Each structure stands twice: as C-alpha cells, then as structure tokens.
Amino acid sequence: MSPGERLKARLAARELLLGTFVKTPHPAVVEVLGESGLDFLVLDGEHAPFDRAATDACLLAGRAVGCPLLVRVPAGDAATILGVLDGGAAGVMVPHVTSAGQAAALAAAVRYGPGGRGFAATTRAAGYGRRGIAEHLRRTPGEVSLICQIEDPQALDHVAAIAATEGVDGIFVGRADLAVGLGEAAMGAGRVAGLAAGILAATGAATGLYCAPGEDIAPWVGHGASFVVAGSDHAFLQQGAGALALLRNSVPTPGGKP
C-alpha cells in the first residue's frame, strides 16, 4: 500500500492522525520529520516559499521515508493541483473553500476523466511509466485525498454540504483565519471555539483542525476531529532553541551566580 493509499484509508476510517506543517522548503526537513513517527506532513505552499522545484524535492524526500505528504496549495487552481499530484503528493489541502460548488470543482481537479486533470503515466506518481494507463487510472482514486479548509464566515452555512460533497475526504478548520474574519484577535476566542466544535461534528468527510504547539487536542477529538495538524518545523525550532536558552540561564556563572 502506498503512503497515499494508507492516508486516504485512515482518513476514511476516522483513525486519529497527527501531523505538522512544514514551512521550510528543504527535503532534509521532510526527511527528519518524516521519520519521527508522525502520520503525515503538510507542505505549506500557502504561507511559506514553496516553488514547484522545492515542492518536488520535498515530495521526493517524503516518498523516500514513506511518509504521506499533503500540499497546502496557495489556491485551488487546477494547474497547481495537477503539478503537486503528478509529483506524488498524497493529496492537497485547499484554503478558503466556501461552497459545495467550489468543493465539487476541486474534487474534479484531483481526478482523471472528463473535466478532470490531465493524464500522464510518466510522472513520479505513476512510477515514471512503470504503471500502465489502466493501473494508474485504477489506483489513483484510492491514493489521493482532498482536504477543504473551512476558515471564512461565509462558509459556515455550507459546512454540511461541503463535507458531503463526493470526492472530499476531509474538512479542516482554519481557526486563525476564521477568528480574523469574525473580528476576533485570537483563535481561542469563545465564539471561534464554538463554531469550530460545530464544524468538527459534521458528517460525511473526516474533520480536523490546526492546533498550536502543546495545545490539548483531546477536547477537539471529543467534538469529532480525527486528524490534527499541530505546530510546524518553525515552532519545533523555536521551542528547542528556547529550552536551550533557559538551560543556559540556569547554569551558574564563573563567579558563582546564575
């Protein structure tokens, strides 16, 4: 079973999955995190400097260590989705999905066939030609996941329809954008928390959300979340460096004073 097939099956089974964002466009970061025991990684092509070459190199690293990689694309344009899926991504996460019609268009963009993405059997995703056309057509639907982000106030009345759209594997609550859109200054604001809980309870697709480093995910799992993206490589660097700085401050100076 390929990493993409494994991730899609686990999403459908509502297994509890834990991943993190990758903000640094370098394959070594993916290699290190991909061997850490996390269930998946998300390359943040929306808020970090991932061009196509950097994305491709990171996808190669993810496949080398057997870790499923989602790519958060800057927008839901078909050309970008085509490129990352040809490169072997386990799926795409698309920001600012606000309607079932938009979700249906994205579902078409991740699949082959009439109205879908262009077909090539010479890509990394197709084993550079080792898969025949028939095999690649047969296997692709089971190894590519579509995650739609719910992060705009105008999406709130359409959550159930988006989650029920054929081809949508997961909906992901973007609490930070949702908070800003509602005029709040923190994603932990009570109104945002209540709305997030309601989104996570949606049926159809799996539901998940972003959590800050160290945040207790248990309450969100209780509301229905089955996949969580917690922190990022940047957050891990900051935490580790901060802990080291505190250690330095606790060591006595040569004069005997801390």
Concerning whether 158 is annotated as a catalytic residue, the answer is no
* Strand ranges for 45-169 from DSSP E: 69-72, 91-94, 145-150
Q: State both tokens at 90.
A: 């386990």
Q: What are phi and psi of 189, to 5 degrees?
A: -60, 145
CA-to-CA distance for 84 and 67, rounded, in angstroms?
Answer: 15
Is residue 63 a contact partner of residue 3, using CB atoms and an 8 Å limit? yes
Distances (CA, A) of 70 to 19, 41, 89, 101, 178: 10, 6, 6, 22, 22
Nearest to 84 by CA among 97, 96, 72: 72
Asked whether the beta carbons of 130 and 65 are under 8 A apart, the reply is no
Rounded Cα distance between 171 and 11, Å, is: 11
d(CA 121, CA 123): 6
Amino acid at position 61, single letter? A
Contact 209, 192 (CB under 8 A): no
Point out the catalytic residue in the list 26, 47, 96, 158.
Answer: 47
| Residues 91 and 81 sit within 8 Å (Cβ to Cβ) | no
74: Cα separation from own chain's centroid: 12
CA distances from 244 to 232, 238, 241 (A): 19, 10, 5
Give the residue numbers marked as catalytic.
47
